[in-house]
Structure 1
Amino acid sequence: MRRLAAAVVALSLVAALAACSGGEGSGAGGTWWRPRPGLAWQWQLDGRVDPSVDVPVYDIDGFESSASDVDRLHRDGRKVICYVNVGAWEDFRPDRDAFPRSVLGGPNGWRGERWLDIRRTRALRPVMERRFDMCRDKGFDAVEPDLMEGYAHDTGFPLTARDQIRYNRMIAEIAHARGLAVGLKNDLPQIPELVDDFDFAVNEECAQYGECALLEPFVAAGKAVFHVEYARSTADFCPLARKLRLSSMLKKPELDAWRRPC
């Protein structure tokens, strides 16, 4: 499903350490995976996980996938990313009642979802910690936190760019405290401020909107950019993706098992 995209920095010390250790990095919370540019990946959020795609990285739904799904992918030598929504409430998740009603904003365009008031970190942090505990306990290597750019949309709250920076850094901190790598999902305008806080990026349709160059700071820092397009052909966007060293593929918007990589 398309997640709403918002309309070269020097190599950091963290990236340098990752480069020296072959893609792993250590920090105050321990050691976690740091994916390097160019890694092929599969992104499947719809349907039973199909483990047959021969790629080193899978990104799957944290709630819908089981520990056995993750273990199966690990046995095949894959790293596994846990998809979790951190920017909107979803009425179909088992922890939907853990969110105070006061943090629920307007609809975000997806059925059963409402924006969150990300300024309310005291209320939201425990919920997100439990979600990331779930990812860790199922054996995931990383987290893909979705909807990290509410400030750029009509959420029903007067969110600012600074509110978003603060919240996104909190999300990265929660992941790293659990030994999980964490990706910055979309939120292209804030990449210069957040590239050092995140281990990789996940992007939808940067070619469609002429934004792929904005992702260069991640690649320059030795960090993977996992990228999909939905409407353009691979012949159209793959030459640019290869030039920028993005991990790119064509997917259907429902994000089932089908893929066409660059």
Structure 2
Amino acid sequence: MEVKARGSTSATGRRRGGPEPATGVAWSGIAARVGRMRGGAAGRGRWRRLGSGLAAAGILILLAACAPSGGADGPGGAEASASGVAPTAPGIALPPAGGLPDYQLGGAYEPADEVSIVARDRSASPAEGRYSICYVNGFQTQPGELQDWPAELLLQRDGAPVFDPDWPDEALLDHSTPERREAIAAIVSPWIAGCAAAGYDAVEFDNLDSYTRSRGALALDGAVELARLLVSAAHEAGLAAGQKNAAEDAAVLRDRGGFDFAVTEECAAYAECGAYAAVYGDEVIDIEYSDELPVPFGELCRAPGAPGSMVLRDRQLTVPGDAAYVFETC
């Protein structure tokens, strides 16, 4: 289904870090990490600008190559590859495997009839009758909320907060010490509890990979330990916890962080879906963006290794009534 209409909203999807897009080359595995590139638009999510040289043959070959094999090798390691599914805390409901998603961070609206999974910002109410995922920016400040954070919890350089180089209205949170991680979790945990009280089923934590933008001041270990605290808070609230992006860290985020599923942006376009599937099995929800698709969306849907839960959205994540609005499912 595809709908385009008129209206306005400010949130965007964006993609942070990772390999350059695949080209028309028959590679035998996950796309090599051959460079990093990020665009610039205001809002939530991640942005990785697609190059003009993407070819259909190459991307489909990469998707097929990245399908989980069930062997001991691969991004998930022996344990993840053997099972293909992350362990889940008792009593936690996972997203319906293969359910059709909608990604509504730019504004809430009535989902299409076929949609069974809806993600919205924590400031919005969940979608009634659908599995609902609550978006939380757990590793950087949200636009307009910098003043709500104690200065000692913001990563500092030369006496000033360090901002995301591509998103200058988001400061990096300093998770470099156990004390700071506990203090960050104490602020974010009420947001998580609020998601549960509102009726959400799960929470997704964005900017797990902020350490890659800290010029060495932050490390993966600190990110994983903060993630563990946030995931624990989610589980205590009865919510499943979703890893947002960071394909290269999926195995450690599952094993040490405790995540239950993955929410990805453009894993098909960037040949990363297999990295997530090796760790989370069918519990992978993918959002592709319409502005620079490597091949027609239908071809991505039909490609071997494509997630069962995939949606095409406009980069701005607009609402029905906006001229830029795009929504299409497999």
State the TM-score, normalized to the length of structure 2: 0.65
Could you tell me which of 118, 126, 133 is aligned with 1:58?
118
Question: How far did 1:253 drift?
Answer: 1.2
Q: Is the 2:287–2:310 Cα contact (8 Å) retained in structure 1?
A: yes
What is the correspondence of 1:23-62 to structure 2 with a 5 Å cutoff? 26-27=89-90, 31-47=91-107, 49-54=108-113, 55-62=115-122
Distance 1:44 1:5, change over 3 A: farther
Distance 1:227 1:52, change over 3 A: closer
Q: Give structure 2 stretches of 5+ with no counterpart.
A: 1-12, 20-69, 71-80, 156-161, 320-325
Could you tell me which of 246, 252, 257 is aligned with 2:314?
252
Residue 242 of structure 2: aligned partner: 183
Residue 130 of structure 1: aligned partner: 190
The percentage of counterpart residues that share the same residue type is 29
| Residue 307 of structure 2 corresponds to residue 216 of structure 1 | no
Could you tell me which of 223, 226, 234 is aligned with 2:297?
234
Could you tell me which of 171, 175, 179 is aligned with 1:114?
171
Question: How far did 1:111 drift?
Answer: 4.8
- Which letter does structure 2 place at the counterpart of 1:11? S
Question: How far did 1:80 drift?
Answer: 0.9
Residue 55 of structure 2: aligned partner: none
- Which letter does structure 2 place at the counterpart of 1:204? E
> For residues 143 and 216 of structure 2, what CA distance do their matches in structure 1 show?
19
Q: Is the 1:201–1:226 Cα contact (8 Å) retained in structure 2?
A: yes
Q: How many residues align?
A: 235
> For residues 112 and 238 of structure 2, what CA distance do their matches in structure 1 show?
26
> For residues 59 and 98 of structure 1, what CA distance do their matches in structure 2 show?
24
> For residues 244 and 85 of structure 1, what CA distance do their matches in structure 2 show?
26
Whichever structure has more helix as a proportion of its residues is 1
Could you tell me which of 83, 89, 92 is aligned with 1:11?
83
Distance 1:175 1:3, change over 3 A: farther
- Which letter does structure 1 place at the counterpart of 2:301? C
> For residues 299 and 116 of structure 2, what CA distance do their matches in structure 1 show?
25
Distance 1:6 1:174, change over 3 A: farther
Asked which structure has the greater RCO (Cα within 8 Å, sep 6+), the reply is: 2
Secondary structure at the aligned position of 1:10 is classed as helix
Distance 1:194 1:256, change over 3 A: same
Question: How far did 1:194 drift?
Answer: 2.5
Q: Deviations over 1:110-140 (max 9, x none)?
A: 2521111122212201111111121112111
Higher alpha-carbon Rg: 2
**Structure 1 outlier segments of 4+, above 3 Å:** 5-8, 12-15, 242-246
Could you tell me which of 74, 80, 84 is aligned with 2:132?
80
Q: Deviations over 1:71-122 (max 9, x none)?
A: xx33xx21111111011112424xx444211222422222521111122212
Distance 1:204 1:13, change over 3 A: closer
State the TM-score, normalized to the length of structure 1: 0.81
